[in-house]
Amino acid sequence: MKRFNNTERIGVNKVESIFLSDLKWIPRDILQSDMGIDMTVEIANKGKPTGQYIAIQIKSGSSYFKEQKDGKVIYRGSKEHLEYWLSHSIPVIIVLHDPIADITIWEVINKDKIYQTENGWKIGIPLSKTLDSESKKELLKTNKFPILFQRLQRLSADRFLMKYLQEGNLVILEIEEWINKTDGRAKMQILKRIDEQDVLISRLNFLHFHGPETLSVLFPWASFDVDEEYYEENDKEDFMANYGIWDSEDKCYIGASEDYNEMRDLLPKIRGIEGGSGEIINYRLIFNLNDLGESFLTVDHYLNYGKQLKLNLG
């Protein structure tokens, strides 16, 4: 699992904040599953996800700004990462963040901007090319594929999760929704179960979350069930708080004025659990592959099989 040091974490948080607050797009922090990609960002139009993605590699620290020439910061990388980025299904940009000077600059990774060196490659990133709301027009130009293909890129961005599910593994979505915020703010965490432990693999901050119906837009390849154990525990606590008969002498509940199972059957399948403050409702859901996800993986399998066969035949 990928681990960030404090300097890297500062850079990731800064970039996430710029995309979420300044550009109003949807950043997803990736903690595991992708070599050389720290975040994916889905472009949104007036709060609505478009299916257009950008992949991002973030380098944080003043040391990355030491080598400069002609108003550009020189970044040097390995050939392994470059080959991966250039062949990625989503356009890749590199972002450099200096936490001391609070400078954040970016450049798209493509062959026209790369200079080969003896030990790897380098790219010049203009100091004037700051990542902010003014970057929107240029960022939109990074993905030149037709919109239909860009929608397939959305599925490609979650290929790791889909394959993991197809192999019979458990993937969990936790959501904190701020119910009193007019912007529909929500924080999501994607976890996988390993040896009875939940391991965080991705984080997603989102604006304009409007309950469970939004999930079909964010994860078009998935359907969801509730985590029954989590919901039953909370449902029982809520039921007893509302309908329990309290024995003040023995300091315990001795029964209830309503039937628990009947009350629970009336609840929506997917619903939020109110937090203690009344400001947040929580969801804990289980991912399932839907027909779109299964179809995508089938096509993806045969495409990869064809590529491998072509390589083997020379």
pLDDT tens column, 278-300: 789 999 999 999 999 999 898 87
65 exposure class (CB count in 10 Å sphere: 0-12, 13-18, 19+): buried
Domain CATH number, residue 72 = 3.40.1350.10
Q: Which residues, other chains included, contact 74 with Cβ-Cβ below 8 Å and sequence gap of 6+?
A: 67, 68, 122, 123, 124, 125
Does residue 276 belong to any structural domain of this protein?
no
For the chain, give percent helix, strand, coil, nearest 5: 35, 35, 30
Residue 101's pLDDT is 94
Residue 309's pLDDT is 42
CA distance 67 to 76: 10
Question: Which residues is 115 bridged to in the sheet?
Answer: 122
Does residue 246 belong to any structural domain of this protein?
no
Does residue 113 belong to any structural domain of this protein?
yes
Domain span including residue 101? 6-144
Does residue 48 belong to any structural domain of this protein?
yes
When divided into structural domains, the chain yields a total of 1
| pLDDT values of the chain reduced to their tens digit, one per residue, 314 residues | 444 567 788 888 999 999 988 999 988 888 755 567 888 898 888 777 787 889 999 999 999 999 999 999 999 998 888 988 888 878 899 999 999 999 999 999 999 999 998 888 999 999 999 999 999 999 998 877 766 666 677 787 788 889 999 999 999 999 999 887 777 788 999 999 988 899 998 888 877 788 888 888 888 899 999 998 888 888 888 888 888 888 787 788 787 888 888 888 888 888 888 876 778 999 999 999 999 999 989 887 655 544 444 444 44
Residue 148's pLDDT is 65
Question: Which residues is 273 bridged to in the sheet?
Answer: 282
DSSP symbol at 130: B
Residue at 295: amino acid letter: S
Does residue 201 belong to any structural domain of this protein?
no
Residue 68's pLDDT is 95
Closest by alpha carbon to 160, among 30, 292, 295?
30
Cβ proximity of 192 and 267 under 8 Å: no
For the record, the structure tokens of 169 come out as 């593994």
Tens-place pLDDT, residues 193-244? 988 899 998 888 877 788 888 888 888 899 999 998 888 888 888 888 888 8
Does residue 258 belong to any structural domain of this protein?
no
Does residue 139 belong to any structural domain of this protein?
yes
Does residue 16 belong to any structural domain of this protein?
yes
- pTM for this entry: 0.73
Cβ proximity of 28 and 64 under 8 Å: no
CA distance 264 to 245: 18
